[in-house]
Amino acid sequence: MIIWRVSTVGFLVLMALSHSAASDSHYGNPITVDQGWSDADRAFFYFAPQGSPILPLDYFLALEQPASEALFSDRAFLKSLGMIYWDDADANPEGLPVGLTVDRGRLGTEPQLGMNCSACHVTEIRVGDAIVLVDGGVSHFDFWSFMTALDTALVVTAQDDERLRRFVDRLAERDHLVTEADQITARLQQIISDREDWRRRNDTDIIPGPGRVDALNVILNQVTAGMLERPENARVPDAPVSYPALWDAPYLEVVQYNGVVPNAGAGAIGRNVGQVLGVFGQVDLAEGTLPLGYNSSVNVTHLMALEERLETLTSPSWSDLVEAGALPALDPRLVEAGQVIYQRQCASCHAVIDRTDRGELASIEIQTFDLGTIGTDPAAALGFAAREVVTGPIAGRQVGVVTGPEFCEVTHGNAVLAHVVAGVMLNHFGDDRRAIIQAAESVAVSGIHQRLVGLGSSIRSALGLDVDDKPVSPDYGTMIDAMAAEGLPQDEIAERLAAMSGDSSALFNELVRDHFKYHGEDQTCMEVLQTAQYRSRPLNGIWATGPYLHNGSVSTLADLLLPASQRPTQFAVANSRFDPVNVGFVSEVSDGAFVLDTSIPGNANSGHEYGVTLSVQDRLALLEYLKSL
């Protein structure tokens, strides 16, 4: 059975949305601005499959809406879920919205409905009658309601004889591979079962709403619970984050809100593979010899081509939208005054970079901040760092697939993710064994031991142990046992280790707890220092990426410059109408609108209280400068 507790909530929202979907009088494609891409680049980004099959394409196109006989693929219905359209008959002959693709499964036997990263990373901005698309931005796509509606539509089709008859008839019109009603019904039930498994892994009371998803937990659920076939590894995705802007991403040394994914070396393609694994990617974890690694649905060729295009993608310029007649001109005097304030208040964390000349790839240093310092909602950072999983079928395999130590029965979730990513990469890369091993090792080691090497010397020195010139990983087990022998309780041991390292984002309390919880090989595997942190990044194009903070809990930049106690505690999300004064999207509470409640854990709008003591005039000047970035 489908999990109706969550589905019913989404179904009721969808009913409201389907009745309140605004008519769109705009014909033809929206306005685009110069972000370094040609129309061909844009079409590739919008419609190229990445290896994320959801269900057979013909089944999707034959499906009706949950509460209507109208097709699920109806443009107005999908627009009500925040999807947008770019008409290109050559790149998109099925007329799908941006981000839905014609994909192939791991076996490649028939066309599948797929999803690529543009579903979440194209911003629609409406000002007056103008509609502008910003590539690589933050969409208003309501992924969760889309999936809820899709699951519900599949179930009601299987349960309603008339719906099922119409569904079968439409499949026959599309020359589908299987046209016999009983065979279609059997396959429909299998699809429903697969979708039910996904929803069960991701069952949650925290509905993300438009423009958000708990990406890290969904990815880890897919890999550690789904691919390992260990349902006990699933965790509730209760820490939704905003879809991040993609421009400049290849030039940052680390990405993700918690700064755990390095870009250097194989990191860039690794992060893209990881994203596909979390969005319906298929992987066969059976061990083989040639080719090395794990066979998967991931289209690595397209991911590499996508990464090349992201290297040329620049942030949107406010002035370009002014020229297009979509935004008011900036006040140069306010911009100049705001620049001075920015240098004083913001630049130490958010470096100013040239939006078109960003230097070498992975070269922009990114600062990270511990949870106490930044003060924003901790759920996303803690959920990723503190997850423990059983390794199941990969127990005993090497962490880097062809290199590194062996997995124990229990390990950290991010270690499994790094392992599977490395395995998929190995299976797709060429015959240069040395390059393959280096790539796998780069992804696996950086994913597991990030920020570990380098702390070793300072800790060993503090304990009076020998210090080599080359940093070494600290032997935490010996240190913890020595302190325990002195009679120190666990919390005090954690405090001492934290004081030695000077790293306030390191979760020494988790490390010490795991030391005493696990034994033997499992203890060794679990004694890896995890960190809980958030990163800062350059702010070019920040004006187009609201709502703000990692979890989208602050509606506008003007609100972000207020103390947390004065920020709105509730606001509506999903409106693409832009507010050029407060800098964000208009919050209009209407029938069907999703209202973000910041009192819910994971949604907190606290923290990042910088610039909150500025005068009204200085805040206006700073806002004007932020528009110019």
pLDDT digits (tens, 9 = 90+) for 145-203: 999 999 999 999 999 999 999 999 999 888 766 668 888 999 999 999 999 999 999 99
Residue 502 lies in a domain: yes
Report the alpha-carbon distance of residue 317 to residue 324 in Å, rounded: 11
Q: Which amino acid is at 78?
A: L
Indicate the number of domains in the chain.
1
What count of other Cβ atoms lies within 10 Å of the Cβ of residue 108?
A: 11
Residue 241 lies in a domain: no
Determine the structural domain holding residue 519 and report its residue range: 456-530
What pLDDT, on the 0 to 100 scale, is given for residue 225? 96
Least confident stretch, 84-88, 292-296, 491-495? 292-296
Task: Label residue 438 by pLDDT band (50, 70, 90).
Answer: low
Residue 407 lies in a domain: no
Candidates 46, 110, 108; CA nearest to 295 is 108
Candidates 565, 504, 568; CA nearest to 534 is 504
Q: What is the dihedral of CA 181, 187, 193, 199, to 10 degrees?
A: -100
Sequence-separated (6 or more) residues with CB below 8 Å from residue 295: 106, 283, 284, 286, 288, 427
pLDDT above 90 for 565: yes
Residue 466 lies in a domain: yes
The DSSP result for 161-178, as a single string, is HHHHHHHHHHHHHTT-S-
**Tens digits of residue pLDDT in 16-39:** 444 334 344 445 789 999 999 999
User: Which bin fits 151, alpha (ψ -120 to 50), beta or left (φ > 0)?
Assistant: alpha
pLDDT above 50 for 83: yes
The separation between the first and the last C-alpha atoms of the chain, rounded to the nearest angstrom, is: 50
Farthest-apart Cα atoms in the chain, separation: 78
Least confident stretch, 137-151, 219-233, 471-485, 589-603? 471-485
Who has greater pLDDT, 273 or 620? 620
Residue 521 lies in a domain: yes
Q: Are 408 and 522 in contact (CB under 8 A)?
A: yes
Task: Write a three-state SS string for 289-352.
Answer: CCCCCCCECCCHHHHHHHHHHHCCCCCCCHHHHHHCCCCCCCCHHHHHHHHHHHHHHCCCCCCC
Residue 479 lies in a domain: yes
Q: Which two tokens stand for residue 435?
A: 């390059």
Residue 2 lies in a domain: no
- Mean pLDDT score of the chain: 87
Report the alpha-carbon distance of residue 446 to residue 91 in Å, rounded: 37
Residue 508 lies in a domain: yes
Q: How far is CA 223 from CA 61, 202, 253, 538, 612, in A?
A: 28, 12, 25, 31, 41
Q: Are 221 and 201 in contact (CB under 8 A)?
A: yes
Helix axis angle, 161-173 relative to 181-201, nearest 10°? 110
Report the alpha-carbon distance of residue 139 to residue 574 in Å, rounded: 9
Q: Are 423 and 401 in contact (CB under 8 A)?
A: yes
Q: Which two tokens stand for residue 280?
A: 């319906």
- Residue at token pair 């998803």: 213
What pLDDT, on the 0 to 100 scale, is given for residue 221? 96
What pLDDT, on the 0 to 100 scale, is given for residue 456? 40
Geometric angle at alpha carbon 17, from 15 and 18, rounded to 5°: 65
- Residues facing residue 412 across a β-bridge: 388
Q: Is the pTM of this model over 0.75?
A: yes
E strands present in 420-574: 533-535, 570-573
Who has greater pLDDT, 519 or 82? 82
The stretch 40-57 carries a mean pLDDT of 95
Least confident stretch, 263-267, 271-275, 432-436? 432-436
Percent of the chain with pLDDT over 90: 69
What pLDDT, on the 0 to 100 scale, is given for residue 16? 44
Helix extents (H) in 174-232: 181-201, 215-220
